Structure 1
Amino acid sequence: MAPSFDTSTHTVCVMDASGHLGFSLVQRLLQRGYTVHASVQKYGEENLFTGISSDPDKLKVFRSDPFDYHSIIDALRGCSGLFYTFEPPFDQPNYDEYMADVEVRAAHNVLEACAQTETMDKVVFTSSATAVVWREDRKTMELDLDERHWSDVNFCRKFKLWHGVSKTMAEKSAWALAMDRGVNMVSINAGLMMAHDLSIKHPYLRGAAEMYEDGVFVTVDLAFLVDAHICVYEDVSSYGRYLCFNHIINTHEDAVQLARKLTPGASSSLPQRLVRGRFWSF
């Protein structure tokens, strides 16, 4: 029988802890008995965590700029694990042709800091399904897309799929550095996360009509995604990349339901236009 995983002996860092995924990870990790370093980017975000831990010694909040190497080192000190999810900086919130450089630099800094943290055992790196699904030959491939595939950055640039560009380049940069520095890393390539404030402006949705037609328009519930992160951290045999989703938008009814969620209060004809790709297409 495999030994049980003693969460009480593990100190882990969540970065950025102020986003939907990061905050939910902090909550679940505390519930499971971990000691958590919650790393946030902006002043004032520390207040998000007031009262969420019954044991104040189990939670420490750090302000860490992903472009400030030393602040990352401070947050990681003493940690055996890192849950890393990129949140765009407040002064550049939109995905555009420049975001890839920003996200790559952040990933590089974080992985380098992990390599210099002697106590670090495993990094769970949050990536996206958009780093998998976008390829010129996707309609003629003999095999189904899976975790072995990568999006074609040139294809993404051609059609201004900036989310795919950023996630592909950042994940590849993280993997290159992890392998070079000997960091034990696992990536989770998540579908569109169904947060309560999800809107049609989300950069993942660029090209959604094509994903729908190709049968690769996948979504994931927040709780499911949180559990997946913790599962791959606690499983000593986990490795490589994991596509993570619990629903596929592949029927007309699914598409209409999602369109209505994205455009509450819109006219009844809007979901039909969305499904046909008027707003989601290339």
Structure 2
Amino acid sequence: MAPSFDTTSHTVCVMDASSHFGLTLVQTLLQRGYTVHASVQKYGEENIFKGVSANPDKLKLFRSDPFDYHSIVDALRGCSGLFYTFEPPLDQPNYDEYMADVEVRAAHNVLEACGQTETIDKVVFTSSATAVVWREDRKSMEADLDERHWSDVNFCRKFKLWHGVSKTMAEKSAWALAMDRGVNMVSINAGLLMADDLSLKHPYMRGAAEMYEDGVFVTVDLSFLVDAHICVYEDVSSYGRYLCFNHIINTHQDALHLARKLAPSASSSLPQSGDCGKSFIEQRISNKKLNKLMVDFEEA
């Protein structure tokens, strides 16, 4: 990473900042010296930022609806960077066949606003490993899956893998618009975030047994995910997509541990010891590109 990078001269926007990930990212950016525009969707969410910053001039709060172009522009004004992650709207919290349209529209609005904001130098777009792993040929591929691969939307639709549909379509839409508008964008294709409120209902969990059996069921800790976002923003050499995970569920014990974390009944959705025929599944997914970039990353 370039040693001359001066975080105190950068103002960045975090959208949506009200999630567990968003709040932690805001806190870490402030610790590193950034000025942060924290964008939330709903009234009352601003309360979570009380006491987060000792310097009120370093943290500014905005209410930005991803479907309201002008509110996005307001939050981006004066920013050199955007960290964007999609949070489903309150009236449609679950991923279904219609969520892709919602997420694509939100991504389009945000990237369009970035293209019209002259101060924006880089966008870090949070996507998912589900935009990588779902392919008809995944079992027959000789090489490991990595950020060069895309999930097949038709395959996802066939098996009702709506999270994969939404993340793939939204990310592809964002990339198309970024290239058309000349926006410098990098995407983070994150594994399942091991948050405290994780449950079996998380849309990433659909197809969990198949991901496990294919050796591509990856997870990521909150602190690692936050560091990865900041690293790709600060490193001038970062480009394209980055698969982001720091653990893979590929042993029977891993599967049982995750099942117990999710819920006592969750074990039925993951292979039992006799189901897979062996206690260790070969890893078939790679995050070498991100790991190489983060070797010299310095935490706050």
Tell me how far apart the structure 2 counterparts of residues 244 and 153 of structure 1 sit (CA, whole Å): 21
Please list, as runs of the form range in 1=range in 2, the aligned pairs for 1:115-134 lying within 5 A after superposition: 115-134=115-134
- Listed as ranges, the matches of 1:1-16 within 5 Å are 2-16=2-16
Taking the aligned partners of 1:31 and 1:76, their CA distance within structure 2 comes to: 20
Amino acid aligned to 1:16: D
Name the counterpart of 2:291: none
Correspondence for 2:153: 153
Amino acid at match of 1:257: H
The aligned residue for residue 70 of structure 2 is 70
Aligned position for 1:47: 47
Query: Over residues 227-272 of structure 1, what are the superposed CA-to-partner deviations in whole Å (9 max), with x where a residue is unaligned?
Result: 0000000000000000000000000000000000000xx3xxx454
Structure 1 residues 110, 272: CA separation in 2 closer, same or farther (over 3 Å shift)?
closer
Give the equivalent residue in structure 2 for 1:215. 215
- Measure, in 2, the Cα distance between the counterparts of 1:206 and 1:179: 32
What SS is found at the alignment partner of 2:38?
A: strand
Q: Pick from 267, 273, 276 the counterpart of residue 268 of structure 2.
A: 273
Deviation at 1:194, TM superposition (A): 0.3
Q: Report 1:235-250 matches (<5 A).
A: 235-250=235-250
Q: Relative to structure 1, is the Cα distance of residues 169 and 53 closer, same or farther in structure 2, using a 3 angstrom cutoff?
A: same
Aligned-partner Cα distance in 2 for 1:225–1:74: 27
- Report deviation, 1:276: 2.6
Residues 162-207 of structure 1 show CA distances to partners (whole Å, capped at 9, x for unaligned) of 0000000000000000000000000000000000000000000000
Say yes or no: does 1:25 pair with 2:25. yes
**In 1, Cα distance between equivalents of 2:221 and 2:84:** 18
Cα deviation, residue 2, structure 1: 4.1
One-letter amino acid of the structure 2 residue matched with residue 224 of structure 1: F
1:4 to partner: Cα distance: 2.1
Q: After TM superposition, list the pairs within 5 Å mapping 1:136-151 onto structure 2.
A: 136-151=136-151
Cα offset, 1:141, TM superposition: 1.1
Are the counterparts in 1 of residues 252 and 271 from structure 2 also a CA contact under 8 Å?
no
Residues 259 and 270, structure 2, Cα contact 8 Å, conserved in 1: yes
Secondary structure of the corresponding residue to residue 138 of structure 1? coil
| Deviation digits for residues 22-81 of structure 1 (CA, Å, limit 9, x no counterpart) | 111100000110000000000000111111100000000000000000000000000000
Aligned-residue RMSD, C-alpha: 1.1
Is this contact kept in 1: 2:133–2:150, CA < 8 A?
A: yes
Structure 2 CA distance for aligned equivalents of residues 105 and 138 of structure 1: 29
- Residues 1:234 and 2:211 aligned together: no
Look up the SS of the partner of 1:110 in the other structure: helix
Q: 1:251 to 1:185 in 2, by over 3 A?
A: same
Q: Aligned partners of 1:114, 1:162: CA distance in 2, in Å?
A: 27
The one-letter amino acid of 2:53's match is S
Give 2:141's aligned amino acid. M
Please, which runs of 5 or more residues in structure 1 have no aligned partner? Answer: 278-282
SS in 1 for 2:83: strand
In structure 1, distance between residues paired with 2:268 and 2:202: 18
Task: Give the Å deviation of 1:3.
Answer: 3.8
One-letter amino acid matched to 1:174: A
Give ranges in structure 2 of 5+ residues lacking alignment.
273-300
The percent of aligned pairs where both chains have the same amino acid is 86
**Does structure 1 residue 36 correspond to structure 2 residue 36?**
yes
Q: State the distance in 1 between where 2:170 and 2:183 align.
A: 16
Aligned-partner residue type, residue 184 of structure 1: N
Residue deviations 1:124-143 (CA, integer Å, cap 9, x gap): 00000000000011111121
Aligned to 1:157, what secondary structure does the other structure show? helix
Structure 2 letter corresponding to 1:274: S
Give 2:184's aligned residue.
Answer: 184
Name the TM-score, length of structure 1 as normaliser: 0.95
SS of 1:75's equivalent in the other structure is helix
